[in-house]
């Protein structure tokens, strides 16, 4: 009888249908990323700047911060407004850098940091576009905006809108390039799997933002202008981002798939409930 011959391990078939991540874990990771992104923007950005520049926050909401600007000069009011987008920008680049160094087996952590980084960059660029079009928001021309009383206002808003639009388009492409090596498969299957993954994240973020936003004491206006504007509008690049992937690329391996993780689910559940309970109804100081 001839000796058995060991066969080489079968290489992953890049043409096979890529697997979506475990849905419950994906929802948990997405909810956590969205809430951390907005928390860093509002509380570590605006609220911290308010305190450091000589005033104090009077209200800490889930999607907004009110600063006692009677204690601040116009320059410092502008700096408080800029602190939110700046924090989002720093969050974006820092988290994408962390995603790059995640070990191959830490696919859940990779996706979390990639998503949090993408949300940060889209928020920073999206605010410029939003404020240019509407005149409100962090880069707005209202009393608490970075460009309050700037003259001529229409020129500033046009420049903001154009700059924000170009920056947002670049950010979406940049984030798509960052995730491209991790989007397994080839052709339409690869793009479709990646797109379904980030769409689940997008609608999770929108749903969580809506539910927590409804707890605010100021009614539907805050939900429309803050909670949904930032979650659905500011991160809408996730809807079309994966169209930027090259359909000719062939990427083997498990890709964006990760299995059920009760640790991530528990962290997200506890974190979301705590954020909703503390900041949803607004914390008055």
> Do residues 168 and 85 make contact, with C-beta atoms less than 8 angstroms apart?
no
Rounded to the nearest 10°, the torsion over CA 221, 223, 224, 228 is 170
> 28 in a domain, yes or no?
yes
Alpha helix (H) residue ranges in the chain:
23-39, 48-52, 74-100, 107-134, 153-179, 187-213, 220-222, 228, 237-240, 262-279
> 6 in a domain, yes or no?
no
3 state SS for 159-185:
HHHHHHHHHHHHHHHHHHHHHHHHCCE
> 123 in a domain, yes or no?
yes
Tell me the two tokens of residue 88: 């989002």
Q: Which domain holds residue 35?
A: 23-44+84-142+149-277
DSSP conformational letter for 257: -
> 225 in a domain, yes or no?
yes
> 239 in a domain, yes or no?
yes
Tell me the two tokens of residue 18: 């890529």
> Do residues 62 and 216 make contact, with C-beta atoms less than 8 angstroms apart?
yes
For residue 15, what pLDDT is reported?
54
Tell me the two tokens of residue 71: 């204690």
Q: How far apart are CA 241 and CA 114, in angstroms?
A: 13
> Do residues 206 and 31 make contact, with C-beta atoms less than 8 angstroms apart?
no
3 state SS for 24-41:
HHHHHHHHHHHHHHHHHH
Identify the residue whose tokens are 């299957």: 189
Report strand pairing: 283-284 vs 185-186: unpaired
For residue 71, what pLDDT is reported?
87
Number of domains in the chain: 1
> 176 in a domain, yes or no?
yes
For residue 85, what pLDDT is reported?
96
For residue 16, what pLDDT is reported?
64
> 72 in a domain, yes or no?
no
* Residue-by-residue pLDDT tens, the chain, 285 positions: 444 444 444 444 555 678 999 999 999 999 999 999 999 999 999 999 999 999 999 999 999 999 998 989 999 999 999 999 999 999 999 999 999 999 989 999 999 999 999 999 999 999 999 999 989 889 999 888 999 888 899 999 999 999 999 999 999 999 999 999 999 999 999 999 999 999 999 999 999 999 999 999 988 877 877 778 777 889 999 999 999 998 889 999 899 999 999 999 999 999 999 999 999 999 998
> 58 in a domain, yes or no?
no
Identify the residue whose tokens are 């914390």: 283
Helix (H) or strand (E) holding 89, with range, is: helix 74-100
Q: How far apart are CA 137 and CA 128, in angstroms?
A: 9
Q: How far apart are CA 232 and CA 250, in angstroms?
A: 31
Entry pTM: 0.92
């Amino acid at each position: 009888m001839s000796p058995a011959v060991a066969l080489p391990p079968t290489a992953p078939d890049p043409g096979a249908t890529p697997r979506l991540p475990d849905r419950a874990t994906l929802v948990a990771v997405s909810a956590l990323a969205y809430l951390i992104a907005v928390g860093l923007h509002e509380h570590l950005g605006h609220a911290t700047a308010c305190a450091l520049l000589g005033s104090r926050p009077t209200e800490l909401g889930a999607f907004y911060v009110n600063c006692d600007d009677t204690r601040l000069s116009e320059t410092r009011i502008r700096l408080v407004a800029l602190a939110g987008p700046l924090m989002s920008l720093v969050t974006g680049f820092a988290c994408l850098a962390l995603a790059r160094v995640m070990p191959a087996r830490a696919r859940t952590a990779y996706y979390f940091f990639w998503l949090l980084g993408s949300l940060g960059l889209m928020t920073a660029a999206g605010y410029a576009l939003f404020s240019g079009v509407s005149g409100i928001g962090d880069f707005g021309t209202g009393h608490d905006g970075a460009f309050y009383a700037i003259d001529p206002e229409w020129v500033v808003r046009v420049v903001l809108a154009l700059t924000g639009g170009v920056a947002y388009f670049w950010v979406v492409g940049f984030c798509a390039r960052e995730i491209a090596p991790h989007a397994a498969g080839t052709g339409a299957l690869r793009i479709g799997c990646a797109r379904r993954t980030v769409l689940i994240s997008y609608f999770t973020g929108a749903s969580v933002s809506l539910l927590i936003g409804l707890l605010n004491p100021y009614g539907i206006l805050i939900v429309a202008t803050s909670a949904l504007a930032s979650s659905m509008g500011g991160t809408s690049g996730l809807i079309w981002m994966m169209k930027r992937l090259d359909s000719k690329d062939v990427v083997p391996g498990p890709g964006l798939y990760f299995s059920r993780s009760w640790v991530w689910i528990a962290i997200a559940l506890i974190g979301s409930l705590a954020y909703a309970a503390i900041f949803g109804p607004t914390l008055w100081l």
